[in-house]
Amino acid sequence: MRFAGRPLLFLAAAPVLGLLVLPLVGLLVASSPADLAAGIGSPLFAPALWLSARTTAASLAVVVLAGTPLAWWLAVGSGRTTRVVEAVVDLPIVVPPAVVGIALLETFGRSGLLGPGLVRFGIQIPFTTLAVVLAQVVVSAPFYVQAAAAAFRRVDADLLIVARTLGQSQRGAFLRVAVPIALPGLIGGAALAWARALGEFGATLLFAGNLPGTTQTMPLAIYMALESDVRVAVALSLVLAAVSIFLLLALRLAPSAVARLQTRSARS
């Protein structure tokens, strides 16, 4: 299609496009290799990276294991309950992370909803690594559940009936037909959820605090580093940005790669 106003369109889009790209360039330009090395060598760096890796792996596992059945239920259901649950699942996307943090404190904190019960069993959740994982689960689950439900909705219901008539139980039809067909969508959703958990800041800061080695994930370490040494903050940011860009690329390439893999394994 030919657009007479193409240069004009580009001009109109330029400010937003620039704002999306320029900060990344700024980040790259800000640090020399020596700065980067100094940042990576800082005592903040390794514990934060390790904690982020551990907590996001745990939260992703929870989100996928519990979110997949939930997404399936949302995809096959059609009643009013389904729609209400669907809206509830979306809540953390629209609620500011700081509010999620306070809400979690008011639930699991000493004087919170479940606080007295937890205290009786000697369980303390706020300001622990578990709190980091919980905050990540809450803010990232909607991204996975939404994507997975959308992927499951695209699976033709007749395929599942056929799988049943060919001898599969309900579970078998789900695992052998629905999941493989929805797999690219599930992977895409999982990558989005992981990216969201990796970047989680607000809810973690309020609910888990900023304790190095225990609750100080990468984003929180950036925040702390900024007060002492900008170079460390920039180095941490570069690593996070690199991981995110890699994730984005993987997201774009995952669907076709999965399809190719499935084709190949079916051939072998």
Partner 1 sequence: MSWHVAIRMRMGSLDLDLDLRGDDTPVAIIGPNGSGKTTLLRTIAGAYAPDAGTIRVKEETLFDAEAGVDLPPERRGVGYVPQGYGLFPHLSVLDNVAFSWVSRGVARTERRHAALRLMERMGCAHLADRFPTKLSGGEQQRVALARALTAEPRMLLLDEPLAALDAPSRRQIRAYLAEHLTERRGPALVVSHEARDVHALGAFVYAIERGRVVQSGTPGALASAPATEFVAAFFEA
Binding mask 249-268 for partner 1 (x = CB under 8 A): -------------xx--xx-
Question: Is 133 within 8 Å of 124 (Cβ atoms)?
Answer: no
- Residue 181 interacting with partner 1 (CB under 8 A): yes
Identified binder of partner 1 from the candidate list 32, 180, 245, 257, rule CB under 8 A:
180
- Residue 82 interacting with partner 1 (CB under 8 A): no
Structure tokens belonging to residue 181: 């067909």
Identified binder of partner 1 from the candidate list 17, 28, 159, 249, rule CB under 8 A:
159
Nearer to partner 1, 11 or 159 (CB): 159
- Residue 162 interacting with partner 1 (CB under 8 A): yes
Q: Which residues contact 235 (CB under 8 A, 6 or more apart)?
A: 31, 35, 36, 38, 39, 40, 42, 45
Task: Strands of the chain (E only): list them.
Answer: none
CB of 165 to partner 1, least distance (A): 5
- Residue 176 interacting with partner 1 (CB under 8 A): yes
Question: Is 63 within 8 Å of 144 (Cβ atoms)?
Answer: yes
Identified binder of partner 1 from the candidate list 5, 79, 158, 227, rule CB under 8 A:
158
Report DSSP letters for 155-181, one per residue. S-HHHHHHHHHTT--HHHHIIIIIHHH
Q: Position of tokens 């999941």?
A: 179
CB of 35 to partner 1, least distance (A): 48
Distance of alpha carbon 103 from alpha carbon 96, whole angstroms = 11
Piece in contact with partner 1 (CB under 8 A), picked from 21-29, 82-90, 156-164, 220-228: 156-164
CB of 184 to partner 1, least distance (A): 10
- Longest alpha-carbon distance in the chain: 71
| Residue 210 backbone dihedrals phi, psi, to 5 degrees | -135, 60
- Counting every residue written for the chain, the total comes to 268
Nearer to partner 1, 20 or 266 (CB): 266
Q: Which residues bind partner 1 (CB under 8 A)?
A: 156-159, 161-170, 172, 176-177, 180-181, 183, 262-263, 266-267
